[in-house]
Amino acid sequence: MSEQLRFHLLGSSAKFLQTRAQIAKVAAVDATVLITGETGTGKEMAARAIHYYGTRKDQPFIPVNCGAIPEALIESELFGHERGAFTDAKSASPGLVSEADGGTLFLDEIDALSLKAQAAILRFLQDNTYRRVGSGVQRQANVRIITASNADFNRLITQRQFRSDLLYRINVLTLHMPALREREGDALELAQVFLDRFSHQYRLPAKTLHPDAINHISKHQWPGNIRELENVIHREFLMCEAAQIQFGPHAANTPIANQRIFKNAKASAIAEFEQAYLYKVLEQASGNLTQAARIAGQERSAFGKLVRKYGISPSTAITNEK
């Protein structure tokens, strides 16, 4: 099992321990699974856990983001195609179902599939047989299907955007990933783990969390869940110059935050001065870069780089000054 998978399955809350126990139970039986939960709760990590804890662990795990595949190509991507089956089919392709044979096919964001694509998936789920686009040969694949979505399927079915018969097929077993705000204490535990991981990843000294940061992590609702927490810790680890990371509602009054404010204000003042000075010397040189660089006492290449940095056109500079 990958390091990333272990990181995302960490948590000591009663809620998440129950989820992990359910993952182990689902992994032990070879049936179709629907994983639900908010964005960023770790649905793909749960799918990987089900695969790698199960009997198919030595076979391929093939993830597919259904929302990222154009409707016209979904059948070709999943089931493959023969050479010449359509305009761009310059060679045959086995398809992702064939690649996943013996293993697991994970269909993330399955609600994003068009009704036509849903019908193709339904046909395959009925008897595990399929045909490549442009072929009359029927093939068979032994694939476990795991799907994931954060959609309201009842609403989608009512609006005729999702097939109810497909939902029955994919929802044999259901695993719900709880939101991070429902996992008491896990946000802080994960934050500490992320800090250790980033220290190792970037080969930088370890950092700790300031009490204000600990308080913020514990009380924040984390609407983006684990993904949001990881991104926040990642950013703070890289940007904070101190050994103790401090962020949250009270961090704006700290010396570290004030230092950041000073740096930002200084950078803004320098940028404002540089732009005003560039306009002035370009106006004096009537838009001639070489002459303007001479007036500024800089080499033409360095002066030209600074002009391009601010997107200033010599002719525009003259117009603006006048």
Could you report the per-residue pLDDT of 107-162, keeping only the tens digit for each? 999 999 999 899 999 999 999 999 888 888 899 999 999 999 999 999 999 999 99
pLDDT at 5 over 80: no
Query: At 232, which amino acid appears?
Result: V
3-178 — its CATH code?
3.40.50.300
pLDDT at 1 over 50: no
Mean predicted confidence (pLDDT) in 308-312: 76
Mean pLDDT of the chain: 87
Per-residue confidence (pLDDT) for residue 257, from 0 to 100 = 52
Q: What percent of the chain has pLDDT over 90?
A: 61
Handedness of CA 292, 295, 300, 303 (dihedral sign): negative
pLDDT at 272 over 80: no
C-alpha 206/C-alpha 214 separation (Å) is 16
Per-residue confidence (pLDDT) for residue 322, from 0 to 100 = 43
CB 97 within 8 A of CB 124: yes
- Comparison of pLDDT for 73 and 320, the residue scoring more: 73
Nearest to 149 by CA among 90, 207, 64: 64
Region of 226 on the Ramachandran plot (φ > 0 left; ψ -120 to 50 alpha; else beta): alpha
Per-residue confidence (pLDDT) for residue 176, from 0 to 100 = 97
Write down the domain spans for the chain. Answer: 3-178, 181-252, 254-321
Is residue 131 classed as helix, strand or coil in its secondary structure?
strand
- Comparison of pLDDT for 116 and 2, the residue scoring more: 116
Is residue 247 classed as helix, strand or coil in its secondary structure?
coil
Q: Per this entry, what is the length of the chain?
A: 322
The topology under which CATH files domain 254-321 is Arc Repressor Mutant, subunit A (1.10.10)
Q: Which class is domain 181-252?
A: mainly alpha
Per-residue confidence (pLDDT) for residue 168, from 0 to 100 = 96
Per-residue confidence (pLDDT) for residue 292, from 0 to 100 = 84
Per-residue confidence (pLDDT) for residue 295, from 0 to 100 = 87
C-alpha 198/C-alpha 217 separation (Å) is 18
* Per-residue confidence band for 260, with pLDDT thresholds at 50, 70 and 90: low
Q: How far is CA 199 from CA 33, 205, 217, 236, 240, in A?
A: 36, 6, 19, 12, 13
- Comparison of pLDDT for 229 and 135, the residue scoring more: 229
pLDDT at 321 over 50: no
pTM: 0.74
> What are the residues whose beta carbons fall under 8 Å from the beta carbon of 316, sequence distance 6 or more?
none
Q: What percent of the chain has pLDDT over 70?
A: 89
C-alpha 90/C-alpha 80 separation (Å) is 13
C-alpha 107/C-alpha 149 separation (Å) is 9
C-alpha 167/C-alpha 156 separation (Å) is 11
DSSP 243-255: SEE--STTGGGSH
Nearest to 103 by CA among 139, 164, 55: 55
Q: Which pLDDT tens digit goes with each residue over 74-117? A: 888 999 888 877 777 778 889 999 999 999 999 999 999 999 89
Q: Which pLDDT tens digit goes with each residue over 12-57? A: 999 999 999 999 999 999 999 999 999 999 999 999 999 999 999 9
> What are the residues whose beta carbons fall under 8 Å from the beta carbon of 33, sequence distance 6 or more?
26, 47, 50, 145, 146, 147, 172, 173, 174, 175
Instruction: Give me 86's structure tokens.
Output: 């359509």
